[in-house]
Amino acid sequence: MRDTFLAEAEELLEQIGDNLLRLEKQPQDSEVIDSLFRAFHTLKGSAGLVGCEAVKVLSHGLEDVLDDIRSGRRQVDTVLINRLLSATDVLKEAVAGAATGEAPAAEEIDGLLCTLREGAAGEDRTTPREPAWHGTDGECRDLPLMPLPVRLDLLQAVLQGRQVVFIRVKCCQEIFYRGLDPLRLFQSTVEAGGARFLHLAISGEDLPGPDDFDPERCYVAIEACLQLPVEPGGLLEQLEFIRDDADIQVFPVSVPMLFAAGLVTGRTVTEAGQLERVKQLVAGTPWPEDRESLTAKLDELVHVGLVVAGASPCSGGVACYFEEAILLGRLLRQCLERGTPGAGSDLNRVVEDVKNLICEYLDCHGADCYPSLPPRTAAEDLLRLFFPGDSLQPKPGVVLPTGEMKAGPLSEAAGKTSSPALLRSEMLRVDSKKIDKLMELAGELVIIKNSLAYWMRLAQNAIKDQEQAQALKEQQLALAKVTREIQEAVAGVRMVPIGQVFHKFTRFVRDASVCLNKEVDLVFQGEDTELDRNVVESLYEPLLHLVRNSLDHGMEPPEERGQAGKPLRGTLWLRAYHEGTRVSVEVEDDGRGIDVERVKAKAVAQGLLSVEEAIQLSRQDALALIFRPGLSTADNITEISGRGVGMDAVISVAHGLGGSVSVDSVPGSGTRIKISVPLTVATSRVLIVRAAAVETGITMDDVEKIVYLTREQLTGMGKVKLGNTQNSTVPVLSLAEVLGLPGVEAGEEYRVVLLRNGIGVQVEAILGDEDMVIRKLPGEIGELPLYKGAALRGNGKVLMVLDSKYFKGWLGHGLYRQS
């Protein structure tokens, strides 16, 4: 339960962060405001379910602010956005604390809430609030505590479109001295206003202990649910008479408000025989499929439920969802009678889902029991399914303005909400470790499949019966096909959009820009591009370094941009796109570009290069110097960057992922840095080659093509040759020599593997290719730069897989040796 909460909270917090930044740009966007409100509301509810008080309290405070914004009582400005962002940061800490047990201090939360409220008070000075008539749905929490028969009646009334309000009258303590009986006064006022009592109760939650109790002071509050008359103005006029003596809060009652939002305690229906009777009714026999019989079945459920609830003793303390089950049954019955599930929803499926939930609620009683879906959420989802965009949609926290009563305000945004939990029933939230394990097993399956293929080849000649041989061959091919499909399917599960990482930079770019006094627009391109989750997560750190550097060093301040004739606002692009089996991720800015001479000078000054080497360096190689450890062109170390430890980390992570990094920069126009990574890091297609009787592998991602060159096409340059292919001339290395082994004379034809990095590798034989799981080797052998790692082949032997980058280094070394 807690894990689910943490996962859900993480998603919500990301969504909140994005929407707050969007709100800053579009303060009037009601969709964003509604979305933020819902996110805080959901977070509050979920936190309540798992008992995470800090998150609940803070979410509630933030929800109040959003409610003020939504109702126009508060204006959005940068100060408010900063406060909301800071509060969201603390909210993140509180969520993280739910996992580690280190919640933010209560004082910190109180302080934040005070700050948030301060702004509201400032608004109040210019926009008078009507305190007597306002409140939030949080104060309507008593509705689910009402007796089941009352809740069923209220549900019925609201679903019939009647204007039902919850009203709470809290009189001043001195009212008895005025010779008034508030209860009688309230009753007569309501009746005179033409409203009808659906429920009336006295709440004693503010009643003090015996020592502090003064019997001549009024402590209790009157709570009622009223069905309003067609013209509610008369009631308002009547209530005006008691407004001076009482704080009056009025809320329109919506269907979801009648359902418990969180943990339900204080009602127990555990008497085995009675409960079994209801359970038997729900789960004991199949539910009919036609609407008429279904509604009859649900009527019976409610009837029996009422009998059981009435007969069961009330005792507090532990959770029990019995009444929620009955109420949900009634709601489904009303939905069936009045509506049809929206497009794309199958009625039988919805009924089945609700039935399962009812069963779950019936089983959910005892200490610390939590259902998978809170009753209020279930009710909201059911309403969205049956009445999308209808007035039955909930809009929690909406209050009735003075003099203008209207029932059940529409929540347009609620209608737009996608994927409610009932619809989400086909989705499954799975621990990523389980997917990783599945991927690992799929990798093992690949190894076994390869092994089987190897042994099958050896055994083919031994099988005399051709039919048997053919059958075995077919089964082996089928296994290979299914294995590949399994692997692709599991890999597909792990694919996530890179936008998940991109969006994390929205806040960072905003805050860093403010810190650096720069104006920067962040633009995402190709954020839907999917790649392996592990790759996506690994890319965050290198992208952070690149974005930091762009903002700090690349992007000019507005005045400098103005002088250069550029727009005052700079643009930073985060871009992703497919390139074959790889994905390229780019960070580009329209800043000042990289000063190559300055980079060279810094490298020389830091002893990374000699002056001569610096002069001979090509522009591209000079640009690549920025990835050298410790090299920073920044004169000052700032909070953002400048320590020279970031860019080499970019290279390191990219290489760790089997990727590469390239840089392109135009002085005065900007810089683009590209990280190219494989789609997935699970398995690789490996070309198996032989040189000096040793078999090694080269990943197909590194291979451009395989060519056969004649002796004439290879011109000697000592130990490094140049190979003349159709289109170009490339340096060709002997793999045997690179491995330090005596090579075999090739004869007239040379087999050369042309790598993507522009180097040819001469081998003695090409032995084929296989899907392999490449693993890093532990210990010293894993440190050897020649190898990416090792893979287990079908024949059970270990194949060392070469790192193509090593050849480039070796080539430089070889040329140096010759010169």
Partner 1 sequence: MAFTVRANELVLSDSFNIEQVKECWSDLKATGLQELRLLHLKELNSIDLAGSQIVFLVLRECPGIQVILPTNTQVIKLLGLIGLKGGEG
* Nearer to partner 1 among residue 224 and residue 650 (C-beta): 224
Whether the CB-CB separation of 586 and 573 falls below 8 Å is answered with yes
**Nearer residue to partner 1 within complex by CB, 203 or 417:** 203
Contact 710/749 with Cβ under 8 angstroms? yes
* 220 versus 706: smaller Cβ distance to partner 1: 220
| Nearest distance in Å: CB 136, partner 1 | 25
Task: Identify which of residues 179 and 286 has a Cβ nearer to partner 1 in the complex.
Answer: 179
- Minimum CB separation of residue 217 from partner 1 in Å reads 9
Give whichever of 264 and 407 is closer to partner 1, judged by the CB atom.
264
How far, in Å, CA of 455 to CA of 448, rounded?
A: 10
- Gap between the Cα atoms of 469 and 492, Å rounded: 34
Q: Please list, in sequence order, all residues whose beta carbon lies within 8 angstroms of the beta carbon of residue 186, skipping any fewer than 6 positions away.
A: 169, 222, 224, 242
Q: Among the candidate windows 197-205, 274-282, 342-350, 542-550, which touches partner 1 by CB under 8 A?
A: 197-205
Two tokens at 425? 């029933």
CA atoms within 13 A on the CB side of 559: 2
Residue with Cβ nearer partner 1 (210 or 778): 210
**Residues 304 to 343: which contact partner 1 by CB under 8 A?**
none
Q: What single-letter DSSP state applies at residue 778?
A: P
| Inter-residue contact 793 to 472 (CB < 8 Å) | no
- For the CB of residue 186, give the shortest distance to partner 1 in the complex, in Å: 9
Tokens at 219, concatenated: 């402590």
Q: Applying CB under 8 A, which of residues 184, 272, 716, 727 lies at the interface with partner 1?
A: 184
Q: CB under 8 Å to 583, separation ≥6 — which residues?
A: 498, 529, 531, 535, 576, 577, 676, 677, 678, 679
Cα–Cα distance, 29 to 416 (Å, whole number):
14
8 Å CB contact between 651 and 661:
yes
Closest approach, Cβ 234 to partner 1, in A, equals 24
Least distance to partner 1 from the beta carbon of 213, Å? 6
Range in contact with partner 1 (rule: CB under 8 A) among 173-181, 258-266, 540-548, 646-654: 173-181
Give the integer Cα–Cα distance in Å for 408 and 396.
10
- Looking at the Cβ atoms of 309 and 625, the one nearer to partner 1 is 309
Residue 263 binds partner 1, judged by CB under 8 A: no
Q: How far is the CB of 327 from partner 1 (least distance, A)?
A: 20
Asked if 812 is part of the footprint of partner 1 (rule: CB under 8 A), the reply reads no
Name which position in 11, 181, 191, 412 contacts partner 1 (CB under 8 A): 181
Rounded Cα gap, residues 252 and 233, in angstroms = 15
Pick the closer one to partner 1 by CB: 179 or 607: 179
The contact pattern for partner 1, residues 127-166, with x = CB under 8 A and - = no contact, is: ----------------------------------------
How many residues of this chain interact with partner 1, rule: CB under 8 A? 18
What is the nearest approach in angstroms of partner 1 to the Cβ of residue 201? 5
Interaction mask 218-257, partner 1, x per CB under 8 A = xxx-------------------------------------
Within 198-217, which residues bind partner 1 (CB under 8 A)? 200-202, 204, 207, 210, 213, 215-216
| Nearer residue to partner 1 within complex by CB, 181 or 191 | 181
Residue 146 or 261: which CB sits closer to partner 1?
146
> Which is nearer to partner 1, 222 or 585 (by Cβ)?
222
Angle between helices 432-460 and 466-493 (to 10 degrees): 160
Q: By C-beta, is 201 or 707 nearer to partner 1? A: 201
Residue 66 falls in which region: left (phi positive, over 0), alpha (psi -120 to 50) or beta: alpha
Contact 34, 411 (CB under 8 A): yes
The answer to whether the beta carbons of residues 48 and 101 sit under 8 Å apart is no
State in angstroms the smallest separation of the CB of 499 from partner 1. Answer: 53
CB environment 783-818: b (16+ within 10 A), e (fewer): eeebbbbbbbbbeeeebbbbbbbebbebbeebeeee
343-362 residues in contact with partner 1 (CB under 8 A) are none
Q: Is 176 in the site for partner 1 (CB under 8 A)?
A: yes
Residue 175: CB minimum distance to partner 1, A: 9
Provide DSSP, 414-439: HHH----TTGGGG-----HHHHHHHH
Instruction: State the nearest-atom distance from the C-beta of 227 to partner 1, in Å.
Output: 18
Instruction: In angstroms, give the least distance from the CB of 319 to partner 1.
Output: 20
Residue 183 sits in the site that holds partner 1 (CB under 8 A): yes
Nearest distance in Å: CB 245, partner 1: 13
Matching residue, tokens 């550029």: 566
- In whole angstroms, the minimum distance from the beta carbon of 148 to partner 1 comes to 14
Q: Could you please report the per-residue DSSP string of 515-549?
A: HHT--EEEEEESTT-EEEHHHHHHHHHHHHHHHHH
Residue 420 found at the interface with partner 1 (CB under 8 A): no
- Residue whose pair of structure tokens reads 């429920």 in the numeric block: 199
- Give contact residues for partner 1 (rule: CB under 8 A): 176, 179, 181-184, 200-202, 204, 207, 210, 213, 215-216, 218-220
